[in-house]
Structure 1
Amino acid sequence: MEGRDHARHEVAGAPAAEPGRAVSDRRFTKELHSAVRCAAALLAMLLLIDWGAGDASPWRAALWCVLSLSLFVVLCPRRITAGEGWLASRGLLGTQRVRTDLLVSVRCLDGVSHRLVFRDALGGRVELDPQTLVDNPDLWHRLYEDARTSAELGCLTCGETALRRVQQRVDRETALTVFKVSGLE
């Protein structure tokens, strides 16, 4: 069984993942630090303006702290993690989890920001930015293997087109990266 899984990963162009190993979004730490820096910069700027204008007071400082904290909450990224048979999105207020081997639908929501919504047969729901999957091939291939399992079982009734679009984007980005590294741009 392991040999077949290993061969499938090599055919898909991804490094073979260890069974049971969870993969995470590699950009999470960078985005978290960026959110902290933005909130701290806003707080420092507002306190400096108050101090320069002579309007500094404890109440205004508390208000600026609340405003900066609100900015951090808005900018704080969700931590996307996937393992064999599951996908989780953890934010400040909780975790969303979906069984990827029991997916029933994958929908692409268009709007101000593109989102992929995964739903499983147990009622689980996870929403994420497709760019997260494009930027993290390990995460994409772990998810894609389980989505194929769902399709083979007949669970995945809607979403193969959305998955195919993400696959095309991942392939395009991988090819561009290979061209850049090899100097063939």
Structure 2
Amino acid sequence: MGRRDDAHAQAPAHASAHDRLWRRDLRDTFRCAGALLVLLLVVDHLTGHFTLWRGALWLALAVLLFVVLYPARVRAGEGWLSSRGLLRERRVRTDRLVSVRCLDGISQRMVLRDELGGRVEIDPAVLVTNPDLWHRVSEDSRRSLASGTLTCGATALRRIAERVERETAETVFKVSGLE
């Protein structure tokens, strides 16, 4: 196998940074799916239309909502970033990035690609709310920029850096009472 397979087949080293809010987001996902299920079952029961088949349908709908809302678990270590969904984990070498793009739409996404073919798509808010995660990605992306592999995305990284700095400053002002 080639270089790409060897680099991405290895399990990443110890994660030095991770999304601290992931557990809370997962708990909220369970709560939303559970609340929908309970609401649908209660409405069916109160209207007298509850059947076993309808209960199974409502359960399937709640499971579908859980799958759609399931938060990706973002972790990073020296030279890598990973995003783990329900079924698979995607990794990218942050010290060998080729492009970083921010996609606007209903929800903002940040797409990172490395020279080995790795691709990770994350919510930029994860980097903004986790400065240690951002620091790890920023430090490694600077290496990519210095080595010349990062040809597209310096502007996107600068915008995220400005957003992280703004959010951090606002937090410091709030904590110190200087709003």
Answer yes or no: same fold by TM over 0.5.
yes
Q: For residue 144 of structure 1, what is the aligned residue in structure 2?
A: 138
- Does residue 1:63 correspond to 2:65, yes or no? no
| Mapping of residues 19-168 of structure 1, within 5 Å | 21-168=15-162
Q: Identical aligned pairs, as a percentage?
A: 61
Give the conservation status (yes or no) of the 8 Å contact 2:15–2:75.
Answer: no
Q: Distance in 2 between matches of 1:124 and 1:177?
A: 34
The AA in structure 1 aligned to 2:163 is R
Runs of 4+ in 1 over 3 A off after TM superposition: none
Deviations 1:5-29 (A, max 9, x none): xxxxxxxxxxxxxx95421101101
Q: Distance in 1 between matches of 2:39 and 2:104?
A: 35
Q: Point out where structure 1 has 5 or more consecutive residues left out of the alignment.
A: 1-18
Q: Distance in 2 between matches of 1:151 and 1:68?
A: 44
Return the TM-score normalized by structure 1. Answer: 0.88
Q: Distance in 2 between matches of 1:46 and 1:156?
A: 50
Q: Point out where structure 2 has 5 or more consecutive residues left out of the alignment.
A: 1-12
Q: Distance in 1 between matches of 2:49 and 2:133?
A: 50
Return the TM-score normalized by structure 2. Answer: 0.90
- Partner SS state of residue 149, structure 2: coil
Q: Distance in 2 between matches of 1:171 and 1:20?
A: 26
